[in-house]
Structure formats: C-alpha cells, structure tokens
Amino acid sequence: MGFPVLSLIVLVPLAGALLLLWLKDDLQIKRLALLVTTLDLALTLTLLAHFNPDTHLMQFSEKYQWIPALDIHYALGVDGISVLFVFLSAFLGWICVLASWRAIEQHVKGFMCALLVMQALMLGVFCAMDLFLFSIFWEAMLIPMYLIIGVWGGDNRIYAAFKFFLYTLAGSVLFLVGVIVLYFEGGQSFDIQILMTQKYPFAVQFWVFIAFFIAFAIKVPMFPFHTWLPDAHVQAPTAGSIVLAGVLLKMGAYGFLRFSLPMLPLATHYFATPVVLVSLVAIIYGGYLALAQDDLKKLVAYSSISHMGFVTVGLFALNVAGLKGGILQMFSHGIITGALFLLVGLVYERTHTRLISDYGGLMKVMPIYTTGLAFFTLAAMALPGTGAFIGELLVLVGVFGFSKIVAALAVIGALLSAGYLLSMFKRVALGKVTNQALTNSRDLDAREVVTLLSLALFVLWVGFYPMPFLNIMHASVEHLLQQTQAQVVLISR
C-alpha cells in the first residue's frame, strides 16, 4: 500500500472531531460521528486485508523527522501484535457511537468530540514506533477520558474522574522516568526498534522494569493498583465503560509486550514469578469481589480484574502458548466485556437502576435483550465455542508449562466466573417480575440488535475459527520470545 494508511487511521477521528465543531443539530452530530468511525473502521479492515502475517517486521511504516536535536521522529508501524488492537480500537469506537445514540442527551457535540479524540489517541498508542510519540499519545488519553467520566458520568462522577486521573497520571510519570533512562542508556534515541536491540545492564533493567511495571499495572489494572477501576466504570457513561474495558485496560498489557519483554529481558525473567503470583491473586481476588456485588457495573468491573489477570499470567509465563493466549484473551475480553457494559447501559436507559436486586423476570418483559445477555454471559464464562475459551485455554497451557500449581489455582478463577455470572443472570432474567416498573420496558430496537450482533460475530469467529487471529500474531510472538531469550543468554554471559 503506497499511501500513509496508519496516519489516516489516526487522523480521521481527529478531523471528524474538528468537523463536529461546525454542527449544531444533535442528530447531524451523531450521524457525522457514526460516519467518521465507520470510515476509520473501513481503513483498519483495509489494513488487515493487506497485512502480511508471515513476517515479524513492522509494516505500513512511516517515519518523518520531527525534532532533530533529540532524534525524535513521527514514526508509525504495526506488527502482528499491534494490528489486532488497532482494529479493536476502531471497532469499539464505532460501537461506542451507536451505544451513545440515546444514552447521551446533554452536550452531545462535546461528548462525540471527546470520543473521537480518544479514539485517535488510542490508535496512536498502538501505531507509534517512537517512544516520545508513544508517550504523548499515552498521556494525552487521560484528558478526553477524564472529561467523558467527569462531565457525562453519574452522580459521583467528579470523585471517580479525579481518582482515575490521579492514578493513571502517577503511572504516566513513572513511565516517563523510564523512557528518559532508556533514552540516555540506549544511545540517545527514542526509536523503539533501536531500543529493543540495546543491551542494558541488569541494574538499569531492574529499576526501569519497576517503573514500567507500576505504570502498566495501573492501566491493566493489576492487584493492588486496581481500586480506581470500579469507581470509574460505575460513574462513566456506557461508551466510557466500553472504551475503558475494551481498549484502555489492554494498553497496560500491550506495554509489557512492546517494552518490558523485548527491552528488559533480564528483569522480565527475574520478576516473572512475582508477576505471575500477583496475577494469580488478581484472578481469584477479582472473582470473589465480583461474587459480592449487587451493582451490575461493579460486577463486570471486578470480573475485568479477574479476566485481565489471565492475560498477565499468560504473558509472564514466557512461552508461545502463554503469549498467544494472553494476546487473544486481550482481544476477546475487549469484545465480550464491551458487550456486557453495553447491555448494562441498555437496560439502565430503560429502568434507571443497576442494582441486581431491582430486577427479576426480565426474560418475560425483554426476551431479545435477555437472549443477548445470556449469550455474552456464557461468553464471559469462556464457554467452548467462544473467543474467551480459546484465550483462556492457551493461557492455561502456557501457565502449565511455567508451573502446574499456578495453572491449577488459576482454574479457580474460571469457576468463580461461572458462579457470579450465572447468579447474576438468574437474578436478573429468570423467575417472576418482582419490579412492576419493568413491565413497561421496551425491548431492543434494530440499532441495538445490530450493535450486539456485530460484537457476537467476533465472539463466535474467534471461538470457532481462531486460526486467522493466531496466524496474524504468530511471527511477531515467535520473534518476541526469541529476542527476549536471546538477549538473556547474551547478557548473562
């Protein structure tokens, strides 16, 4: 492809946000936002269609000199790992516009502008191949998400927005410190591919790994850096929760893949066991907390902590099965949890309550909605035939190679998942209608059905035919693991 497709993918949402400023009618604003996200999604599909899965090299690369004095470039590129999340970001951006069609009634222009700017910055994170450029995208994301929670969130939105901002800003500061150290230790270059080839002393790797770990752990979020997440999810509007769960949480795990493993291999191997154990705690701890929730959003939020624990435990198993399973679980979790937050938002629009105790017998009132809830509940449980099953299976295979005891304990998380999800579905959908206010609730309309079916398509595709997704990442995962292990051997000598 001869044209700068990655720049187009990043800049189209920004251009759309600027165009929205000229519109006044809310319906026109929504239609233009939908058009922009549809165009961006089409561009990412074109990217996937022309992507060569047989090489680990960066593809569709663009590099232009930006700040010569500091050797900073505007550099973009994707490999088999990042291209999946470029698509996921564009796809969920499109979903968010549809999810906000009725949910957002005040300051529609501002909301859609913030959403499009957020999408551009998320795409920039996954495309950036210059560490300085990556840092700008990484930190700038805080602003539109802070606004989305703080302006369009629930009653306690200001507290949740500040908590989200302060936690993630603290992580960003530590990340920036690590970036500066790598710049000076790596020959005063911000080029990510050059920095991957440098051989850093163990003392440097040790401290930079800790800085990066805290920054990425906050984003994931890993135990004990997770406390901002439930508040942010509960207070955020539906689209904000979808973006948080579907994309922002993945950026922490992506940071481990892009920086910690290839650049800090000695420290990665040194800290692998502690990170695996912390991930195991997150799997079980998140599941137990989810069991205790009566708020639908909090239940899904704590389930995300548990499911993202499967991601990090797979990545730090440091084998092919674990890495592939972790990446596939990141992708599947983004789709499934995004769908669950969408379902919570749809029923909240009708009932104005998220308390599980306020429901009961919803299947008799909203059968189409209940069918969607049943499908994505089973998908979140990693039922065979869904994407989460393939991801968790590969993770458990990889972790089994790392430690049989850890793998056995991780299965507890899967059992807890079945417990809190089935209990939630039973209390919400089955039995008698306990709240008469539900009897007048309308079922899903065509737009909402299409939105859910789009998400269900990828759940089933990954579940029944995961090879296209595994093939895309195969060469990059193999190279990443070989690169990490080779540097460990060389440096240890």
Contact in structure between 9 and 40 (CB atoms under 8 Å): yes
| Mean pLDDT of all residues in 76-102 | 92
With the CA atoms of 73, 78, 84 and 86 taken in that order, what torsion angle do they form, in degrees rounded to the nearest 10? 30
**437 pLDDT exceeds 60?**
yes
Residue 282's identity, in one-letter code, is A
To 5 degrees, how large is the angle CA 398–CA 400–CA 402?
75
| Mean pLDDT of all residues in 351-366 | 84
**492 pLDDT exceeds 50?**
no
Contact in structure between 318 and 329 (CB atoms under 8 Å): no
pLDDT digits (tens, 9 = 90+) for 396-410: 999 998 888 988 998
pLDDT of the residue at 233: 81
Among residues 48, 71, 72, the alpha carbon closest in space to that of 59 is found at: 48
**112 pLDDT exceeds 60?**
yes
**In the beta sheet, which residues pair with residue 393?**
none
Q: Mind giving me the DSSP string for 118-138?
A: HHHHHHHHHHB-BHHHHHHHH
Report residue 488's pLDDT band, with 50, 70 and 90 as the boundaries.
Answer: low
Please state, rounded to an integer, the average pLDDT across all residues of the chain: 88
pLDDT digits (tens, 9 = 90+) for 371-399: 999 999 999 998 899 988 999 999 999 99
Structural tokens at position 100 = 């906000």
Strand extents, DSSP E, 257-366: none
Rounded CA-CA distance 136/10 in Å is 13
Contact in structure between 375 and 460 (CB atoms under 8 Å): no
pLDDT of the residue at 339: 93
Collect all residues with Cβ–Cβ distance below 8 Å to 481 and sequence separation of at least 6. 318, 319, 320, 323
Structural tokens at position 448 = 């909402």
Rounded CA-CA distance 26/28 in Å is 5
Structural tokens at position 110 = 């501002």
**Residues 79-104 as b or e (16 or more Cβ within 10 Å = b):** bbbbbbbbbbbbbbbbbbbbbbbbbb
| Mean pLDDT of all residues in 308-322 | 91
**103 pLDDT exceeds 80?**
no
Rounded CA-CA distance 218/227 in Å is 9
| Mean pLDDT of all residues in 62-75 | 88
Rounded CA-CA distance 403/421 in Å is 28
Q: Mind giving me the DSSP string for 150-201?
A: HHHS-TTHHHHHHHHHHHHHHHHHHHHHHHHHHHHHTTS--BHHHHHH----
Among residues 157, 121, 128, 156, the alpha carbon closest in space to that of 142 is found at: 121
Rounded CA-CA distance 146/445 in Å is 31
Q: Which one is predicted more confidently, 438 or 466?
A: 466
Report residue 453's pLDDT band, with 50, 70 and 90 as the boundaries.
Answer: very high
Rounded CA-CA distance 485/493 in Å is 13
**493 pLDDT exceeds 50?**
no
Q: Mind giving me the DSSP string for 365-387?
A: H-HHHHHHHHHHHHHHTT-TTSH
| pTM more than 0.85 | yes
pLDDT of the residue at 442: 82
- Domain segments of the chain as ranges: 5-492
Query: Phi-psi category of 385—alpha, beta or left, where left has phi over 0 and alpha has psi -120 to 50?
Result: left
Contact in structure between 314 and 394 (CB atoms under 8 Å): yes
pLDDT of the residue at 108: 86
3-state helix, strand, coil in the chain (%, to 5): 75, 5, 20
Structural tokens at position 463 = 């579940």
Report residue 490's pLDDT band, with 50, 70 and 90 as the boundaries.
Answer: low
**489 pLDDT exceeds 60?**
no
DSSP label of 222 = P
The answer to which of 118-122, 239-243, 357-361, 438-442 has the lowest mean pLDDT is 438-442
Strand (E) or helix (H) holding 75: strand 72-78
pLDDT of the residue at 11: 94
pLDDT of the residue at 68: 86
